[in-house]
Amino acid sequence: MTNIPETGRTPRVQIRLVVIQILVLSLLGTLGGRLWYLQIRNGDEYAKEASGNNVQQVVQPAVRGSILDARGVPIADNETRLVVSASRTDLLKMKDDGKAVLTKLAAVLGMKPQEVMEKVRLCDAKTPQPCWNGSPYQPIPVTDEATTQQALQIRERSEDFPGITAEPEAVRRYAAPGKSNTAQVLGYLSPVTDDEITKAKDSESPYLRSDQVGRSGLERQYDKELRGKAGVTRYEVDNLGRVIGKAESDAAEPGSNLVTSIDSRVQRVAEYELNNAMKVARQQFDKITGENYKADSGAVVVMEAKTGRIVAMASAPTYDPNVWVGGISAKDYKNLTGKNSDYPLLNRAIQGQSAPGSTFKVVSTAAAVEAGYEWDGGYPCTSSYSVGGQVFKNFEGESFGPISLGRALEVSCDTVFYGLADREWKKDGGINPKKGEPKDYFFKAAHQFGLGKETGVDLPNEVTGRVPDRQWKESYWKANKDAWCKTGKKDGSYVEKIAYENCLEGNKMREGDEINYSIGQGDTLVTPIQEAVIYGALANGGTMYQPTIGKAIVSPDGKTVQDIKPKAKGKLPVNKTALKGMDEALAGVVTRGTAAWKFGGWPQDKIALHAKTGTAEVYGKQTTSWFSTYSKDYTVVMTIAQAGTGSGASGEAVRNIYNALYGVQSDGSIDDKKALLPTPEKSLPKIQSDGSIDAPAISKDPAKDQHASESPSPGATDQQLPAGTAPSPTGSNRDTRRRTARPKKRRRLLT
Q: What are 31-63's pLDDT values in tens digits?
A: 877 777 767 766 666 555 555 456 666 667 788
- Give the ranges where 286-404 is alpha helix by DSSP (H): 330-337, 348-351, 361-370
More confident residue, 19 or 670: 670
pLDDT of residue 723: 40
pLDDT of residue 720: 41
pLDDT of residue 508: 92
More confident residue, 138 or 371: 371
In this predicted structure, the answer to whether residue 7 has a pLDDT above a threshold of 70 is: no
The region of weakest confidence among 158-167, 324-333, 359-368 is: 324-333
pLDDT of residue 750: 32
Would you call 109 helix, strand, or coil by DSSP? helix
* Contacts made by residues 708-714, CB under 8 angstroms, sequence distance 24+: 708/178, 708/179, 709/176, 709/177, 709/178, 709/179, 712/179, 713/175, 713/176, 713/178, 713/179, 714/79, 714/173, 714/175, 714/176
pTM: 0.81
> How does pLDDT run across 71-84, given as a tens digit for each residue?
999 999 998 888 89
Asked if 540 contacts 306 with a C-beta cutoff of 8 angstroms, the reply is yes
> How does pLDDT run across 84-136, given as a tens digit for each residue?
999 988 898 898 989 999 999 999 999 999 989 988 888 877 877 678 776 67
> How does pLDDT run across 728-751, given as a tens digit for each residue?
333 333 232 223 333 333 333 332
pLDDT of residue 341: 86
Q: How far is CA 238 from CA 137, 242, 673, 693, in A?
A: 13, 5, 69, 47
In this predicted structure, the answer to whether residue 210 has a pLDDT above a threshold of 50 is: yes
Grade residue 8 by pLDDT with cuts at 50, 70 and 90: low
The region of weakest confidence among 200-209, 358-367, 445-454 is: 200-209
pLDDT of residue 713: 33
pLDDT of residue 745: 37
Backbone phi, psi, residue 402, to 5°: -70, 125
In this predicted structure, the answer to whether residue 204 has a pLDDT above a threshold of 80 is: no
pLDDT of residue 79: 85
pLDDT of residue 47: 59
* SS3 labels along 685-750: CCECCCCEEEEECCCCCHHHCCCCCCCCCCCCCCCCCCCCCCCCCCCCCCCCCCCCCCCEEEEECC
| Interval 575-593 mean pLDDT | 96
Query: Percent of the chain beyond pLDDT 70?
Result: 86
